[in-house]
Structure 1
Amino acid sequence: MTAQLTTELAGPPPSPGIFDELSKREIRRAMLSGIAIPGYQVPFGSREMPVARGWGSGGLQATLSLVGEDSRLKVIDQGEDAGVNASNLRRLVAAHAGCTEETDTRSADIIQSRHRIPEQPLRDGQVLVLQVPGAEPLAGIVRDMDEQRRMHAEADYSKMWVRLYEDIVHNGLITEAAGYPVLVEGRYIMTPSPIPRWDVPKMNDSEAITVLSAGREKRIFAVPPHTRVVPLTFDDRPFEVERTPGAACRLCGSQDTYIVQEPGPDGTFSAWVCSDTDFCRRRRTGDAPAAPAAGGTAQGGTA
Structure 2
Amino acid sequence: MSHHPYVKAELAAFIRIAGNLLLALAKGIVGWLANSSALIADALHTASYGIRNLAALVRLQEDRPRGGSKRRKASRAWIVGAAAILLVAGIELGWSTVSKLQQGSYLPVQWFALPMAMLSIILKGIAGRSRNGGERKELRSMQSNKWDHKLSYAGSLMALIGSAGAWGSGWLQLPLIGILDPLAAIAITLLVLRSGYRMLYDARPAAGDQALEQEDVEELIRTAQRVKGVIAVDDLKAYEQGHFVLVELQVSVNPQISVSEGNDIARLVKHHLMKRFMHIADVLVNVQPYDGGYPYRNAMEHDLENRTLLH
Shared fold (TM-score greater than 0.5)?
A: no
Which protein is bigger by CA-based radius of gyration?
2
- Structure with the higher helix share, 1 or 2: 2
* TM-score of the pair, normalised by structure 2: 0.23
* TM-score of the pair, normalised by structure 1: 0.24
